[in-house]
């Protein structure tokens, strides 16, 4: 059982997993902001999403993020 929890802890601390989770949460927030007609906040959040995806696609090491 300890081995399983070690694997879960490793996933929680994995930078790629954390980035993917952040992306999912930002996309959910975008939907909520769009429904609330918060256009300016949507633009800022979209810029953050774009930045995250550019870094991922460009292969920038996580230490420089």
User: Looking at the domain assignment, is residue 64 inside a domain?
Assistant: no
pTM of this structure: 0.69
DSSP codes joined into one string, 32-52: HHHHTT-HHHHHHHHHHHHHH
User: Looking at the domain assignment, is residue 25 inside a domain?
Assistant: yes
d(CA 65, CA 55): 8
pLDDT in tens, 1-56: 456 677 777 777 888 899 999 999 999 999 999 999 999 999 999 999 999 998 77
Closest Cα to residue 26, out of 47, 1, 56, 8? 47
CB 56 within 8 A of CB 19: yes
pLDDT at 21: 92
| Total domain count, the chain | 1
On the question of pLDDT at 62 being above 60, the answer is no
Q: Which domain holds residue 51?
A: 2-59
Long-range contacts of residues 5-11, Cβ cutoff 8 Å, at least 24 apart: none
CB 21 within 8 A of CB 11: no
């Amino acid at each position: 059982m300890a081995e399983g929890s070690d694997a879960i802890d490793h996933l929680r601390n994995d930078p790629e997993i954390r980035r993917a989770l952040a992306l999912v949460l930002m996309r959910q927030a975008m939907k909520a902001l769009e429904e609330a007609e918060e256009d300016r906040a949507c633009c800022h959040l979209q810029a953050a999403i774009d930045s995250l995806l550019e870094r991922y696609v460009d292969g920038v090491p996580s230490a420089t993020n």
